[in-house]
Amino acid sequence: DDEDNGVFSIITALNLGRYKDHKCITELKEFLLSICHEKDKIGNLRSLLGDEAQKVGLLVSQCVVNLPPELLPPLYDALFDEISWATEDEPTEELRNSFRLKFYVVVSKFYKHKNANQKRSSSTDKDEAFVYIKPEDEILHKLSMWSFLFPLQTQQVTTHEVSRTQHQIYHHRSILVHL
**What is the spatial distance between Cα 131 and Cα 165, in angstroms, rounded to a whole number?**
10
pLDDT confidence tier of residue 1, bands split at 50, 70 and 90 = low
Who wins on pLDDT, 86 or 4?
Answer: 86
To the nearest 10°, the Cα dihedral for 158, 135, 14, 50? Answer: 90
Summarize the confidence of residues 42-52 as an average pLDDT: 94
Residue pLDDT, tens place only, 135-178: 888 889 898 999 888 887 655 555 545 544 333 444 455 555 54
- Three-state SS sequence of 66-81: CCCHHHHHHHHHHHHH
Q: For the whole model, what pTM was predicted?
A: 0.77
Please give the single-letter amino acid code of residue 102.
K
Q: Give residue limits of the domains in the chain.
A: 9-108+133-151+173-178
